[in-house]
Amino acid sequence: MSERIKGVMAAGLTAFNDDLSIDVQGTLDHSKWLLANGCDGVLLFGTTGEANSLSLKERLDFLDVLGESGLPMDRMMIGTGCCSLPETVELTKKTLEIGIESALMLPPFYYKNPSDDGLFAHFARVVEAVGDDRMKIYLYHFPQMSAVPFSHDLIGRFLKEFPGVFCGIKDSSGDFANMKAMAEAFDGFDVFAGTERYLLDTLKAGGVGTITATGNCTSSLCGAVYAAWKAGAPDMEGLQEQLTAQRLALQNYPAAAGLKELLARESGKASWRNVRAPFLPLPKEKADALAADMAKVNWQLPAMAA
């Protein structure tokens, strides 16, 4: 069993070809680039990776290639949580089959206002059906998108009933008080801020890092903040201020389309602009405004391959 991933993780983008099929090699290359530029790990098939616009077969086929890619499986995390229990189980089994132990799971989110008992039953069945002691489940708390939050009572129940299985949470609520409360309440439960805006604050509160969509474009500075915190360097606060300014600028634009626009400009690879509907590429006026806003916050990206 591998060690848990901690530190900076980007919620990686899914690259698409012009026919909107997955650009498998482009997605793999981007993951490699992220790991070489500030990331301790990469999450694939999250929200900004457009996972819920992908079919089960597309995800399973991609995982087969990922397993043979040479990427370090112990630094990868896969979003496997679906509304359907069988799909969640199948994706998680495939993730483990290729050597990735970390799975980020949304709750079954279509039916709203489920009870904690209902959510517990769903996840208990996932654990039972997967039946693999290597599995590390990370909960995906994103109530603005899923409308199904994870209560602290439910988290405590998971930890009591399945010790060593439920390893942490990606809190994308934007509510730092909730992140801090979980880090303080649950010993050994790894809290990741869903925004690098709270990277340093989360680390100080006892959390372990960030899993962030905008890390596709801020990974190097995220890595610098994390390294400064580990070293106790005096410039950690200043680095975090710069990082926060970049995050706040980025979040004024649609996440997938905005981040892909920046990558297209920096790499010269126009296909980075491809997104699946209902997302749309940024119109030129908005794309130019994004580039101007990022220049104002001294944003720079390490060299990318075209």
Which CATH number covers residue 85?
A: 3.20.20.70
Mean model confidence pLDDT for the chain: 97
- pLDDT at residue 245 in the model: 98
> Is 196 within the bounds of a domain?
yes
pLDDT 10s digits, 20-31: 999 999 999 999
Dihedral over alpha carbons 41, 142, 96, 163 (to 10 degrees): 100
- pLDDT at residue 261 in the model: 98
Provide the domain count of the chain. 1
- Which residues are annotated binding-site positions for pyruvate? 48, 211
Domain that holds residue 188: 7-233
Per-residue pLDDT, averaged over 55-78, amounts to 98
Taking the alpha carbons of 87, 141, 127, 3 in that order, is the dihedral positive or negative? positive
> Is 160 within the bounds of a domain?
yes
> Is 302 within the bounds of a domain?
no
* pLDDT bracket for residue 126 (50, 70, 90): very high
- pLDDT at residue 303 in the model: 85
| pLDDT > 90 in the chain, percent | 98
- pLDDT at residue 305 in the model: 66
Task: Calculate the alpha carbon distances from 285 to 168, 263, 281, 282, 292 in Å.
Answer: 40, 17, 11, 8, 11
> Is 77 within the bounds of a domain?
yes
* pLDDT bracket for residue 304 (50, 70, 90): confident
- Predicted TM-score (pTM) of the model is 0.97
Per-residue pLDDT, averaged over 174-201, amounts to 98
Which residues are known catalytic residues? 140, 170
- Put residue 12 in one of left, alpha, beta given phi > 0 → left and psi -120 to 50 → alpha: beta
> Is 138 within the bounds of a domain?
yes
> Is 142 within the bounds of a domain?
yes
SS (H, E, C) the chain: CCCCCCEEEEECCCCECCCCCECHHHHHHHHHHHHHCCCCEEEECCCCCCHHHCCHHHHHHHHHHHHCCCCCHHHEEEECCCCCHHHHHHHHHHHHHCCCCEEEECCCCCCCCCCHHHHHHHHHHHHHHHCCCCCEEEEEECHHHHCCCCCHHHHHHHHHHCCCCEEEEEECCCCHHHHHHHHHHCCCCEEEECCHHHHHHHHHHCCCEEEECCHHHHHHHHHHHHHHHHHCCCCHHHHHHHHHHHHHHHCCCCHHHHHHHHHHHHHCCHHHHCCCCCCCCCCHHHHHHHHHHHHHCCCCCCCCCC
pLDDT above 80 (res 97): yes
- pLDDT at residue 306 in the model: 62
> Is 141 within the bounds of a domain?
yes
> Is 99 within the bounds of a domain?
yes
pLDDT above 70 (res 296): yes
| pLDDT > 70 in the chain, percent | 99
